[in-house]
Structure 1
Amino acid sequence: MHRLFDRAGRKAGRSVVLAWLRWPGPRIEVAGFFMGFSVVRCGLVLLGLGCVLGARAQERSDTTLTLPPVVVEGERVEQTREAGRRLWRLEAVELERTGATTAAELLEARTGLFVKRYGSGGLATLSLRGSGATQTLLLIDGHRVADPQSGLIDLTLLPTVLLSSIEVVHGPAAATYGSGAIGGVVRLYTLRPAVRPGGRVALRLGAYGERSLGVVAHAGAGRVAVLGAVEHSRTIGDYPYSNPLPPPAVRRREGADRSMTSAFGKVRYEGTWRLEGTLWLTEARRSLPGPGNAPPVDAHQTDRQRRLLLLAERPLPAGRFTLRGSYQHTLLAYVNRFAGEADTTRTRGLALEATLDRALHPHWALTARAEARWERAALRGGVDQRAVALALHLSGRQGRLRLYPALRLDLYATAGRTFHALSPRLGLNLALKEGMLHLKGLVGRAFRAPTLGERFFRPGGNPDLKPERGWTVEAGLYAQLRPFVLELTAFQTTLTDQIVWYPGFVAPGLQLWRPINVGRVRTRGLEASLRAEVPLAASLRLQSGLFYTFTRAEDRSNPSTRAYGHQLRYVPPHQLKAFLDVLAGPLTLGLDARRTGRRYLTTDETQALAPFTVLDAHLRLTQSVARTRLSFGLTVENLTDTAYEVVRFYPMPPRHVRVQLRIDLLP
Structure 2
Amino acid sequence: MFRKFVFILFVVISIKGFTQGIQDSVYMLPSATVSAEKVFQKEQAGMKETKLDTLILAQKINLSLSDLLSENTPVFINNHGRGALSTASFRGTAPSHTKVVWNGMPLTNPMAGMVDFSLIPVYVIDEISLNHGTASIVDGSGGLGGSVNISNSVDWNDKFNLKYLQSVGSYNSFDEYLSVGAAWKKISLKTRLYHTYSKNDFTFINSGIGDINPETGEIVNPLDTNSSADYIKYGVLQEFYYRPNMKNLISAKYWGQFSDRTIPRATSYEGPDNSNLNSQQDIDHKLVLNWTYLKEKSKLSILGGYSGKDLLYTLMNNVSGVGYYPAIYSVSHNDTYSGDVKYQYQFNENYSFSAGSNYSYNSVSSVDTVVNGAYDVFRSEISSFINLSANPINKLNINFLIRQTIVDTDFIPIIPYFGLDYRILEDHDLIFKANVARNYNVPSLHDLYWQPGGNPELLPEEGISYEAGIEYRKNLDKFSLASEITAYHSDINNWILWLPSFRGYWEPRNIDKVISQGFETNAKLDFRIKTFKFSIIGAYSYTSSKNYGDPLVWGDESYGKQLVYVPLHSGNLLARVMFRGFYFSFQHNSYSERFTTSTNNITQRDWLYPYFMNDMIFGWHGTINKMNFSTEFKIYNLFNETYHSVLYRPMPGRNYVLSLMFEF
Q: Give 1:514 deviation, angstroms.
A: 2.7
Q: Which residue of 2 aligns with 1:586?
A: 581
Q: Give 1:76 deviation, angstroms.
A: 11
Q: 2:129 aligns with which of 143, 162, 167?
A: 167
CA contact 2:375–2:451 (8 Å) conserved in 1: no
- Residue 399 of structure 2 aligns with an amino acid whose one-letter code is Y
Q: Which residue of 2 aligns with 1:246?
A: 210
Q: Which residue of 1 aligns with 2:231?
A: 258
Q: Secondary structure at the match of 1:337?
A: strand
Q: 1:137 aligns with which of 88, 99, 103?
A: 99
CA contact 2:375–2:450 (8 Å) conserved in 1: no
Q: Which residue of 1 aligns with 2:169?
A: 206
Q: Give 1:358 deviation, angstroms.
A: 0.2
CA contact 1:525–1:550 (8 Å) conserved in 2: yes
CA contact 1:193–1:268 (8 Å) conserved in 2: no
- Residue 302 of structure 1 aligns with an amino acid whose one-letter code is Q
Q: Which residue of 1 aligns with 2:513?
A: 520
Q: Give 1:154 deviation, angstroms.
A: 1.3
**1:312 counterpart = 2:312:** no
Q: Distance in 2 between matches of 1:275 and 1:283?
A: 28
Please report the TM-score for the alignment, with normalisation by the length of structure 1.
Answer: 0.85
Q: Give 1:419 deviation, angstroms.
A: 4.0
Q: Which residue of 1 aligns with 2:568?
A: 573
Q: Give 1:79 deviation, angstroms.
A: 4.2
- Residue 354 of structure 1 aligns with an amino acid whose one-letter code is V
Q: Which residue of 1 aligns with 2:323?
A: none
Q: Which residue of 2 aligns with 1:398?
A: 392
Kindly tell me: are residues 79 and 600 of structure 1, through their superposed partners in 2, closer, same or farther at Cα, counting changes over 3 Å? farther
Q: Which residue of 2 aligns with 1:442?
A: 435
Q: Secondary structure at the match of 2:267?
A: coil
Q: Give 1:99 deviation, angstroms.
A: 5.4
Q: 1:543 aligns with which of 530, 535, 543?
A: 535
Q: 2:309 aligns with which of 330, 339, 349?
A: 330
Q: Give 1:170 deviation, angstroms.
A: 1.0
Q: Which residue of 2 aligns with 1:649?
A: 648
**1:154 counterpart = 2:116:** yes
CA contact 1:468–1:498 (8 Å) conserved in 2: yes
Q: 2:450 aligns with which of 444, 457, 460?
A: 457
Q: Which residue of 2 aligns with 1:610?
A: 609
Q: 2:402 aligns with which of 407, 430, 436?
A: 407
Q: Which residue of 2 aligns with 1:552?
A: 544
Q: Which residue of 1 aligns with 2:486?
A: 489
Kindly tell me: are residues 76 and 519 of structure 1, through their superposed partners in 2, closer, same or farther at Cα, counting changes over 3 Å? farther
Q: Distance in 1 between matches of 2:444 and 2:290?
A: 27
CA contact 2:61–2:122 (8 Å) conserved in 1: no
Q: Give 1:190 deviation, angstroms.
A: 2.6
Q: Which residue of 2 aligns with 1:187?
A: 149
Q: What are the equivalent positions in structure 2 for 1:424-439 lying under 5 Å apart?
A: 424-434=416-426, 436-439=429-432
Q: Give 1:381 deviation, angstroms.
A: 4.9
RMSD: 1.8
Q: Give 1:166 deviation, angstroms.
A: 1.4
Q: Give 1:337 deviation, angstroms.
A: 1.1
Q: Give 1:205 deviation, angstroms.
A: 0.6
Kindly tell me: are residues 118 and 228 of structure 1, through their superposed partners in 2, closer, same or farther at Cα, counting changes over 3 Å? same
Q: Distance in 2 between matches of 1:569 and 1:355?
A: 39
Kindly tell me: are residues 514 and 602 of structure 1, through their superposed partners in 2, closer, same or farther at Cα, counting changes over 3 Å? closer
Q: Which residue of 1 aligns with 2:4?
A: none
Q: Which residue of 1 aligns with 2:188?
A: 225
Q: Secondary structure at the match of 2:413?
A: strand
CA contact 1:263–1:281 (8 Å) conserved in 2: yes
Q: Which residue of 2 aligns with 1:344?
A: 331
- Residue 129 of structure 1 aligns with an amino acid whose one-letter code is R
Q: Give 1:104 deviation, angstroms.
A: 1.2
Q: Secondary structure at the match of 1:382?
A: strand
Where do 5+ consecutive residues of structure 2 fail to align? 1-33, 212-220, 318-325, 367-373
Q: Which residue of 1 aligns with 2:15?
A: none
Q: Give 1:463 deviation, angstroms.
A: 2.2
Q: Distance in 1 between matches of 2:167 and 2:269?
A: 32
Q: Distance in 2 between matches of 1:586 and 1:481?
A: 27
- Residue 595 of structure 1 aligns with an amino acid whose one-letter code is S
- Residue 278 of structure 1 aligns with an amino acid whose one-letter code is K
**1:285 counterpart = 2:260:** yes
Q: Which residue of 2 aligns with 1:630?
A: 629
Q: Which residue of 1 aligns with 2:72?
A: 110
- Residue 155 of structure 1 aligns with an amino acid whose one-letter code is F
Q: Distance in 2 between matches of 1:118 and 1:390?
A: 37
Aligned pairs, how many?
583
Q: Distance in 2 between matches of 1:278 and 1:184?
A: 25
**1:300 counterpart = 2:279:** yes
Q: Give 1:78 deviation, angstroms.
A: 6.9
Q: Distance in 2 between matches of 1:381 and 1:128?
A: 30
Q: Secondary structure at the match of 1:450?
A: coil
- Residue 223 of structure 1 aligns with an amino acid whose one-letter code is K
Q: Distance in 2 between matches of 1:199 and 1:90?
A: 24
Where do 5+ consecutive residues of structure 1 fail to align? 1-74
Q: Distance in 1 between matches of 2:147 and 2:222?
A: 42
Q: Give 1:94 deviation, angstroms.
A: 1.4
Please report the TM-score for the alignment, with normalisation by the length of structure 2.
Answer: 0.85
Q: Which residue of 2 aligns with 1:469?
A: 462
Q: 1:531 aligns with which of 524, 528, 533?
A: 524
Q: Distance in 1 between matches of 2:642 and 2:40?
A: 39
* Bigger shift: residues 542-551 or 141-150: 141-150
* Bigger shift: residues 158-167 or 208-217: 158-167
Q: Secondary structure at the match of 2:504?
A: strand
* Bigger shift: residues 448-457 or 486-495: 448-457
Q: 1:321 aligns with which of 300, 303, 322?
A: 300
CA contact 1:174–1:423 (8 Å) conserved in 2: no
- Residue 254 of structure 1 aligns with an amino acid whose one-letter code is S
Q: Which residue of 1 aligns with 2:29?
A: none
CA contact 1:406–1:426 (8 Å) conserved in 2: yes
* Bigger shift: residues 569-578 or 371-380: 371-380
Q: Give 1:301 deviation, angstroms.
A: 0.5
Q: Which residue of 1 aligns with 2:340?
A: 353
CA contact 2:62–2:175 (8 Å) conserved in 1: no
Q: Give 1:169 deviation, angstroms.
A: 1.5
- Residue 93 of structure 2 aligns with an amino acid whose one-letter code is S
Q: What are the equivalent positions in structure 2 for 1:34-49 lying under 5 Å apart?
A: none
Q: What do residues 488-540 of structure 1 show as CA deviations (whole Å, max 9, x unaligned)?
A: 111100100111224443xxxx4243323224100110111111001111x21
Q: Give 1:146 deviation, angstroms.
A: 1.3
Q: Distance in 2 between matches of 1:102 and 1:157?
A: 7
Q: Distance in 2 between matches of 1:274 and 1:266?
A: 13
Q: Give 1:198 deviation, angstroms.
A: 0.9
**1:383 counterpart = 2:382:** no
Q: Give 1:91 deviation, angstroms.
A: 2.9
Q: Give 1:266 deviation, angstroms.
A: 0.5
Q: Distance in 1 between matches of 2:435 and 2:627?
A: 47
